[in-house]
Structure 1
Amino acid sequence: MPVLPTFSHHVADLIRCAGSADFPASLIAMLRDMVPVDDATVIAYPGMDMPVIEYFEEPNQSGSSTLDRFVKGAFLLDPFYLTATRDNRHGVFRLRDLSPTGFRDSDYYKTWYRDSNFVDECGFIVPVGERGFVNIALGKTASRATFTKRELSTLEAIYPSVEALCQQHWTLTSSDKTGDNLRAKLHSALESFGSSLLTERETQVINLVLHGHSTKTVADKLSISMETVKLHRKHAYAKLEISSQAELFYLFLDSLMSAQDYESGDTLVAYMAPPPKRGDAR
């Protein structure tokens, strides 16, 4: 079927199912008919509440555990999330255009992207509501080439329709609750991570490393030499009792996921505190 009739048919279906549980799957079906993809995920970020997985295709055995880490805190490091929240940008983006130099060597990339066998990813960032947005992630694995210019042009051409449809659907399905500004608390946890044990500069270096920056880009952002970055990182790793970026990434996630009723400060304070001795609790 020619592209325009196919697109028109899908749009009509999406208008009819807006507000229903079938909408995310129908949306992905339309995008697949426009551009060939191997994997797709739809993640909604309602207001300042935690992310909600609206559609997910499990590519391998570890998919569910990886996704669990993502929604509980790893999303804070995601380039698409940062583009929407920090840069306030919306539209169609390619992962490689959003991620910092050295991102493919980061443990965030290895955990979320490489383990899913992604070769290339692009996605829609669609504003929904006052502060919310939806991320529609489309991935290609080793079985396909990267996204072509023509495919990206097609996705950009249909973005206005996708935006209007998504806004209609998520407006119909949104609740009136204001939430507890949970994501703001997690942002605070990320910014403060390690600050109870590290110097201010070491904390800055560790934060940039977690975001996937290379030694060079950390040096450029902080206006210090690469050797100084390496020294700060070495000292920070020693204080945190870790020896690699992988251990840093999981220490951050573990401390964040284990935090109970987090309000502010460094999550490592409670995470690294020794358990109370028997008889201490009254």
Structure 2
Amino acid sequence: MLKLDELAWHRAMGNLLESLDQSDFWLRLTRLLAHYVHFDSWVALRFAEHDRPRVLAEITLDDGLPDTLFEDYLNGLYLLDPFFIAACEYRRDGLIDLDDVAPDRFKSTEYYQRYFRINIVEDEIQWNCLVDHDATVCLSLGSHRRFKPSEKALMKVLGIWLVPLLRQRWQHELREQGQSLQRPATHPAGKANFRLSDASLSARELEIARLMLSGFSSKGISQRLGISAETVKVHRKHLYSKLGLNAQHELFALFLKDNVRDPQS
């Protein structure tokens, strides 16, 4: 493990700064971070409330094949991602911990069981860097085990220089990818575009459906929306009736049908 008072650390940082505008920047950065903390996967993304996540760089799978689960994430599952939701609703620079953003029933959701548990496995941590008026550059690390408190504390310290570095790298990403990263999405994203069939759900019912699928319990929804848990249950009963559903796994199936789509559609 590198130490901040060792010559090797300063040499590594110098090499990283020299690669700021190079194609291998993200690889060099994650290799440097691997000296500090164990992680099994990583991805650099741009989040924006009214656009799908844009991949800036990602780890390469061992077999070299496309990650179909991650493609599903980019095509719509991200709407249930607590990190995406937090980046849009509570924008701030710095380190974001899964425990900070995951709802109280997150691990019981279909999203967790079908995507997070398979692709991320156990834990995730992310540095957020605010750019432009509504966009966030994110570097996310996934792990097969829980991150230790000591690792989280160290990563928080590393964020002091990492966040400004991401902000500088963003300027290079804009030059490399043109203005495509700033154009409005063909299919607007975010909670305003969360859809469920053609049933005439009220705005409140639609919001409660989104929160249910994200992992909020009735109590969690009531606290978030400032309404009673009984009122939440009434809304849930009404939306199930309108959609002809009996269980939350059926609600998730409808969400997949209406929100996880081919990007060319």
Q: 1:183 to 1:152 in 2, by over 3 A?
A: farther
Q: Which amino acid aligns with 2:115?
A: W
Structure 2 alignment gaps of length 5 or more: none
Distance 2:39 2:237 in 1: 41
Q: 1:59 to 1:48 in 2, by over 3 A?
A: farther
Q: In structure 1, the residue corresponding to 2:79 is in which secondary structure?
A: helix
More divergent stretch after superposition (57-66 vs 112-121): 57-66
Distance 2:49 2:99 in 1: 27
TM-score using structure 2 length: 0.82
Structure 1 alignment gaps of length 5 or more: 263-282
Could you say which residue in structure 2 is the equivalent of 1:92?
Answer: 95
Moved over 6 A (4+): 59-63, 259-262
Could you say which residue in structure 2 is the equivalent of 1:163?
Answer: 163
Where in structure 2 are the equivalents of 1:131-142 lying within 5 Å? 131-141=134-144
Q: 1:247 to 1:10 in 2, by over 3 A?
A: farther
What are the Cα deviations for residues 217-243 of structure 1, in whole angstroms up to 9, with x where unaligned? 123334555455344324422432333
Q: 1:224 to 1:70 in 2, by over 3 A?
A: same
CA drift of 1:213 comes to 0.6
Q: Which amino acid aligns with 2:41?
A: D
Residues 1:213 and 2:188 aligned together: no
Residues 1:102 and 2:122 aligned together: no
Q: Which amino acid aligns with 1:148?
A: K
CA drift of 1:72 comes to 1.5
Could you say which residue in structure 2 is the equivalent of 1:36?
Answer: 38
Where in structure 2 are the equivalents of 1:178-217 lying within 5 Å? 178-182=182-186, 184-190=188-194, 193=196, 196-217=199-220
Larger Rg: 1
TM-score using structure 1 length: 0.78
Q: 1:106 to 1:62 in 2, by over 3 A?
A: farther
Distance 2:228 2:52 in 1: 37
Note if contact 1:37-1:138 (Cα within 8 Å) is conserved in structure 2: yes
CA drift of 1:113 comes to 1.5
What are the Cα deviations for residues 116-171 of structure 1, in whole angstroms up to 9, with x where unaligned? 36222211112234432222222221xx4x22222111111111221122222221
Q: 1:88 to 1:72 in 2, by over 3 A?
A: same
RMSD between aligned residues: 3.1
Note if contact 1:122-1:137 (Cα within 8 Å) is conserved in structure 2: yes
More divergent stretch after superposition (209-218 vs 7-16): 7-16
Count residues in correspondence. 258
